């Protein structure tokens, strides 16, 4: 019930923000639409932490701030390598172990890797992510451990030891 209420509140806020109309008939149609969507989600049994991730919003926002700092650091590494006269690029493929069994944590981890300049998540398997790194020094699996733990924490999941 808690997830249904939070989903309804968030959809109402989004709908009012994006539509900007406060005509009674349109408000009634919006309320009916939101009620139908929440009912369908409840009937499908998908009202959980993945469908309604707003419970961990402060954690997620703090993770995004940390990730932004990591993106800036990686940008500097890539710029330095690419602009150097001898072009010190050393493409590498590496398997990064997953430290969570939750799909949302794994997805956030893989997306965070791809957002970071110089690294791209190429393939996901049940126990690892295949990552292409532009520079060899960006391909150490232990360097990704902190990102994996933080991404799991950001969505409210406990990271397992790897």
Q: Of 101, 106, 105, 7, nearest to 51 (Cα)?
A: 7
The rounded distance, in Å, linking the Cα atoms of 47 and 2 is 9
Mean pLDDT of 153-159: 79
Write down the pLDDT at residue 135: 87
Return the structure tokens found at 149.
């733990």
- Contact of 119 with 140, CB cutoff 8 Å: no
Domain spans, the chain: 2-44, 57-154
DSSP-derived letter for residue 61 is H
Mean pLDDT of 105-129: 93
* 32-63 tens-digit pLDDT: 999 999 999 999 998 887 777 776 778 888 99
Span 90-104, mean pLDDT?
88
> CA 139, CA 151: separation in Å to the nearest integer?
18
**How many helices (H) and strands (E) in the chain?**
5, 3
Q: What percent of the chain clears pLDDT 70, i.e. is strictly above it?
A: 96
Label residue 117 by pLDDT band (50, 70, 90): very high
Residue 162: predicted pLDDT: 58
Report the mean per-residue pLDDT for the chain. 89
Q: Structure pTM?
A: 0.73
Phi and psi (nearest 5°) for 33? -60, -45
Question: Can you tell me the distance from the alpha carbon of 54 to that of 47, in angstroms, rounded to the nearest whole number?
Answer: 12
């Amino acid at each position: 019930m808690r997830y249904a209420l939070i989903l309804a509140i968030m959809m109402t806020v989004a709908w009012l923000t994006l539509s900007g109309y406060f005509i009674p008939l349109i408000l009634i149609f919006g309320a009916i639409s939101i009620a139908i969507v929440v009912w369908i989600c409840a009937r499908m049994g998908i009202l959980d932490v993945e469908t309604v991730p707003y419970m961990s919003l402060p954690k997620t926002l703090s993770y995004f701030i940390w990730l932004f700092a990591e993106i800036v650091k990686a940008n500097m590494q890539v710029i330095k390598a690419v602009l150097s006269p001898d072009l010190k690029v050393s493409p590498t493929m590496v398997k990064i172990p997953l430290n969570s069994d939750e799909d949302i944590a794994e997805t956030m981890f893989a997306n965070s890797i791809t957002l970071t300049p110089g690294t791209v998540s190429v393939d996901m398997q049940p126990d690892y992510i295949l990552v292409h790194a532009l520079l060899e020094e960006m391909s150490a699996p232990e360097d990704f451990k902190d990102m994996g733990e933080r991404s799991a924490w950001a969505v409210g999941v406990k990271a397992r030891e790897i």
